[in-house]
Structure 1
Amino acid sequence: MSNLNTTVNKTHTYDAIVIGSGISGGWAAKELCEKGLKTLVLERGRMVNHVEDYPTANLEHWEFPHRGALTDEDKQAYHVQTRSGFVNETNKHFFNNDLDAPYTETKRFDWIRGNQVGGRSLMWGKQCYRWSDLDFEANAKEGIAIDWPIRYKDIEPWYTYAEKFVGISGEKLGLSHLPDGYFLPPMEMNCLEKHVRKQIESKFKGRHMTVGRVAHLTEPQPWHLELGRAQCQYRNRCSRGCPYGAYFSSNAATLPAANLTKNLTVRPGSAVHSIIFDEKTQRATGVRIVDTETKEMIEFYAKIIFCNASTLGTTSILLNSTSTRFPNGMGNDSGELGHNLMDHHYRLGAMGAYDGFEDQYYKGRRPNGIFIPRFRNLDAATRTDKFLRGYDYQGAAGRGNWGRGVNTEGVGGAFKDALLDPGGWGMSLVGFGECLPYHENHVTLNQDKKDKWGLPTLTIDAEFKDNEMKMREQIKADAVEMLEAAGLKNVAPFDYSGGIGVGVHEMGTARMGRDPKTSVLNGNNQIHAVPNVFVTDGACMTSSSCVNPSITYMALTARAVDFAVNESKKGNI
């Protein structure tokens, strides 16, 4: 990464431009470069070089001045980011300073961001699950919003293509609603997790539990090793940046692969203002940016443009890309640009304690948990009339550590020595539920509130509605029922979510569809009316499923690049 080309050419002209360097942007860069296109990646944030710019990756807990806690000053600077529960002294440098990146919440929306080279691929959860036709067909079958313009067969080979390069550790289950993929050896569940799995699968027909399908190299393949990636070390310090490249990130995988072609240029400090549109050709001709250091407005030109600035970042750029042809934002003939914002349920479920297994422990700090696939509304037998769609669970079991001493009475050497012994076993299940696409959940540009570079900010107006609130109650009830059935004690439900956004799976706002009158993009992720502009980040999603979406973004991106390059060769874009 330290050898990445960051010097733009004198003409500012390239074959392709990618806006954003996160999970989908890194994939767009890799695919475009490997197909021979001179590609410019525009990144709003700072440069982050793999390994050398992970300052806390190898520090021990006691080496931090505040033992991982944020100062009062930090809490103010990261007052939105901290709502996620992910931000602390060890990784705050990868999250946005909220004072520098304001937005307006009509209703509470936790917009968790990481503007830097690599984006949120540096601190994502790494869980990877394929969609099935249960997901792609749901809107059409239920009469919700609009139909997806693709089905599983259209994306299945691209899932395999992406999984092979990324490196997904997982276990095959043979479930039609959660298709198996190209997996590296799965991580191992601990003794309590294995016990709970056995109890759930024996007592609840159609329910399954597996270890998470996660983007960690448990057995690196030659193509991983060629990029300098290595086996996961089970340190569970992923959010600090992985110096081994064991977990997938743009910095460890896609950008180095793109760089090997010598077709890549990365320009950090480039806040995109808008996409330039030519009224005569009805094509985009380039991208206009504000240099975040000099505040100079600069234009770059290309025949193909990929928007990968994150769901809301991409939508903000498109809304600001106005012209005579598009007075309300590029590609917004349908009026749907900015609408249908979705996220997943998160931070709710149940937890409990377990008496037993005192003679057993586990080795290392596994950067992964368990996964219980969706089991509601799969078919007539599992249908409920309480709500549409479904949910899954992630979670983990473990033993208490010395931290339990904070709430335990005791003093002296014997008390301290006792804390060195493992505590009791416990387990939690956290639900991830689907949010329906509602037109009224939307974002708009706020021209009266500019950021430090003079760009308009976003106003976000979104919430969970009746269907989601009823689902949340069932998520908690089912979690309690499964843990109690597995023999856990003192099982209690929890719901810590203050609003939408905290799941960090924001989707929608520039959806795919079959009809230009009701959607922004077609089945190849092209803007209907601007065929040389593609959107393959979360903005393109027509519904949200209940599984983590990143591997779907990757597959859609690789598929769209393949289409774009072929169409370009034919002279169609």
Structure 2
Amino acid sequence: MNENLTTNSIESFDAIVIGTGISGGWAAKELCENGLKTLVLERGRMVKHIEDYPTMNMDPWDFEHRGKKNPKELERQQVQNRSGYTTRPDTKHWFVDDIKHPYSEEKRFDWMRGYHVGGRSIMWGRHSYRWSDLDFEANKKDGHGVDWPIRYNDISKWYDKVEEFIGVSGENLGLPQLPDGKLSEPMELNCVEQDLRKSMAENFDGRVLTMGRIAHKTGNAIHEGRSNCQYRNRCMRGCPFGGYFSSNSSTLPAADRTGNMTLRPNSIAYEIVYDDETGKASGVKIIDTLTKEKIFYKASIIFCCASAMASSGILLQSKSKRFPNGLGNDSGELGHNIMDHHFKVGASATVEGFDDKYYKGRRPGGIYIPRFRNLDEKSEQKEFLRGYGYQGSASRSNWQRAVSEMSYGEDLKEELTKPGPWTIGLTAFGECLPYHENKVTLNYDKLDEWGLPTLHFDVEYKENEMKMRKDMQEQAVAMLNAAGFKDVQGYDAPCHPGIGIHEMGGARMGHDPKTSILNKYNQIHTVPNVYVTDGACMTSAACQNPSLTYMALTARAANYAAKEFNKNKK
């Protein structure tokens, strides 16, 4: 690329936010509400809430071939289709074409991306759990990775702020490993899930089953522009009711209402420019994907919220005389310590009885069993460090079971009008330790259509994760058997990093600039006006879904940045 052709924008901003997903939306909202003129960059297309959700109200019969995947597309997108859902006709428009946006892998890494305004906040799973000091202190206690520079008390009030704004439904349990939150009324457990909860309380000390804490609006709290969840379970298509939290329905409109936000889609941020004279970043270089123009935007503050892997890539590309190996990379840790939760392991069963019970609606979330391993001396495991939790649900099958029937006629039709048997499944999500050798690097031999280097992944699960998986399956089987369920089957399917879509690491927080990239306020140690608050900042992975923590860290960092900016402006 010829950098001499870069246009210097005549516009200058107080802040620039790179990315519009879970973290970027929160950075935009908080900076704008604190009075900062903020440019928000999105590499993908514009998506407007409601009007740009093309499949939001479609029924199965509205899709060509009833929603069956196109074999030609599957053959073309073999890497993308490994996930099983990113090529589905009802949601494929949210996921990038991996042929157009390639990456490479030393070991299998399933990178699921969404390039559009709102990012993966449109498609996320919405489970929202706080981390505890068990998680923030883990690295220091067992010696893996580096110590977090914060503890639970540093972000508890920001968890409060985020939960109240996005709307999280669920049940407070009083568990030290899963701190209580500002929750609205939980969705209901069905009769089989209630039965399993009762059995667990009777048969297992320290194990609790609860309805998942999910970012769906319930109760009477008012959230501007949003209504309560309608139990359609079409969330990943985009919700016209705003029943669940997304940047499009919530944080970006809040930022826009201030009059301080300039949203610029179709803008690939590829370099954060370092100024040797000031010792700070001066702005961001972008490529306009429509005009192919390269533009440099100036700002006093920069928030990198492009997603863990993309932010790591941007920082690695941001080279200068001072930082030849990437912005802020004195430690050599940039791009390292990549983590993702491992799952696809657990058990399922059929349930006898409850034939007179059913449920109504399509509940958009399932049950949750919080971590119960390695909490204290009593629950300590010799075979592995850290722990895991379970997600799952119980349901009854319906007429679709006719696919496997080999009989015909009136009796079959009569039988299929009745609900089928109850089944239940538990899937565990386990923590991955932060390994330095798990890394992402720039591949200059495989450029994208903009002439930029692509990402190359070298990430794997190791011995601790494999030993943990054995227990994850065994305990799922034990809990279902103890409940008296039938045909209990454990499973442990192949699972590779990325598929959990909880990528973390690459620009971790820490006390020491010699071993980490970011400080306790998510600032780059050596470039303090650049903040990284998406998954790249994570120092360990815990076993809970991480998005709520991204949002809390972002809100905290953005308010700190705004306070410092406004103080210096006086």
Q: TM-score range by the shorter chain?
A: over 0.9
Cα pair 1:220 1:230 within 8 Å, conserved: no
Q: Segments of 4+ in structure 1 off by > 4 A? A: none
Alpha-carbon RMSD across the aligned residues, in angstroms, is 1.5
Task: Tell me how far apart the structure 1 counterparts of residues 38 and 228 of structure 2 sit (CA, whole Å).
Answer: 30
Give yes or no for the alignment of 1:139 onto 2:136: no
Instruction: Give the 3-state SS of the residue equivalent to 2:61 in structure 1.
Output: helix
Match of 1:514 among 511, 515, 520: 511
State how 1:1-80 maps to structure 2 within 5 Å.
11-80=10-79
Larger mean Cα displacement after TM superposition, 414-423 or 514-523: 414-423
Cα pair 1:66 1:89 within 8 Å, conserved: no
| Pairwise CA distance, 1:77 | 5.0
| Pairwise CA distance, 1:298 | 1.0
Task: Tell me how far apart the structure 2 counterparts of residues 45 and 420 of structure 1 sit (CA, whole Å).
Answer: 45
List per-residue Cα deviations over 1:49-93 (Å, max 9, x = no partner).
100010110011111112222102332454333322333111110
Task: Tell me how far apart the structure 1 counterparts of residues 410 and 302 of structure 2 sit (CA, whole Å).
Answer: 64
Cα pair 1:513 1:521 within 8 Å, conserved: yes
State how 1:265-414 maps to structure 2 within 5 Å.
265-414=262-411
**What is the aligned-residue identity percentage?**
60
Cα pair 2:316 2:326 within 8 Å, conserved: yes
Task: Tell me how far apart the structure 2 counterparts of residues 417 and 507 of structure 1 sit (CA, whole Å).
Answer: 51
- Paired residues in the alignment total 563
State how 1:371-520 maps to structure 2 within 5 Å.
371-520=368-517
| Pairwise CA distance, 1:498 | 3.6
Q: State the one-letter code of the partner of 1:530.
A: V
Cα pair 2:342 2:495 within 8 Å, conserved: no
Normalised TM-score (structure 2): 0.97
Larger mean Cα displacement after TM superposition, 292-301 or 522-531: 292-301
Cα pair 2:77 2:98 within 8 Å, conserved: yes
Q: State the one-letter code of the partner of 1:58.
A: N
Q: State the one-letter code of the partner of 2:133.
A: D
Larger mean Cα displacement after TM superposition, 273-282 or 373-382: 273-282
| Pairwise CA distance, 1:514 | 0.1
Matching residue of 1:229: 226
Normalised TM-score (structure 1): 0.96
Task: Tell me how far apart the structure 2 counterparts of residues 93 and 178 of structure 1 sit (CA, whole Å).
Answer: 35
Instruction: Give the 3-state SS of the residue equivalent to 1:313 in structure 2.
Output: helix
List per-residue Cα deviations over 1:279-321 (Å, max 9, x = no partner).
1111101100111122221111110000000000000000000
Task: Tell me how far apart the structure 2 counterparts of residues 417 and 39 of structure 1 sit (CA, whole Å).
Answer: 62
Task: Tell me how far apart the structure 2 counterparts of residues 415 and 530 of structure 1 sit (CA, whole Å).
Answer: 70
Task: Tell me how far apart the structure 1 counterparts of residues 404 and 159 of structure 2 sit (CA, whole Å).
Answer: 47
Instruction: Give the 3-state SS of the residue equivalent to 2:12 in structure 1.
Output: coil
Task: Tell me how far apart the structure 2 counterparts of residues 258 and 511 of structure 1 sit (CA, whole Å).
Answer: 27
Task: Tell me how far apart the structure 2 counterparts of residues 40 and 237 of structure 1 sit (CA, whole Å).
Answer: 32
| Pairwise CA distance, 1:496 | 2.4
In structure 2, runs of 5+ residues without a counterpart are 1-6
Instruction: Give the 3-state SS of the residue equivalent to 1:303 in structure 2.
Output: strand
Give yes or no for the alignment of 1:167 onto 2:167: yes
Q: State the one-letter code of the partner of 1:54.
A: Y
State how 1:236-251 maps to structure 2 within 5 Å.
236-251=233-248
Matching residue of 1:110: 110
Task: Tell me how far apart the structure 1 counterparts of residues 252 and 328 of structure 2 sit (CA, whole Å).
Answer: 29
| Pairwise CA distance, 1:413 | 4.2
Matching residue of 2:151: 151
Cα pair 2:394 2:424 within 8 Å, conserved: yes
Instruction: Give the 3-state SS of the residue equivalent to 1:380 in structure 2.
Output: coil
Cα pair 1:169 1:214 within 8 Å, conserved: yes
Matching residue of 1:4: none
Task: Tell me how far apart the structure 2 counterparts of residues 474 and 383 of structure 1 sit (CA, whole Å).
Answer: 13
Task: Tell me how far apart the structure 2 counterparts of residues 9 and 201 of structure 1 sit (CA, whole Å).
Answer: 64
List per-residue Cα deviations over 1:225-280 (Å, max 9, x = no partner).
xx210010000000110000010000000000001001111111111110011111
In structure 1, runs of 5+ residues without a counterpart are 1-7
Task: Tell me how far apart the structure 2 counterparts of residues 135 and 437 of structure 1 sit (CA, whole Å).
Answer: 13
| Pairwise CA distance, 1:10 | 6.5
| Pairwise CA distance, 1:499 | 1.2
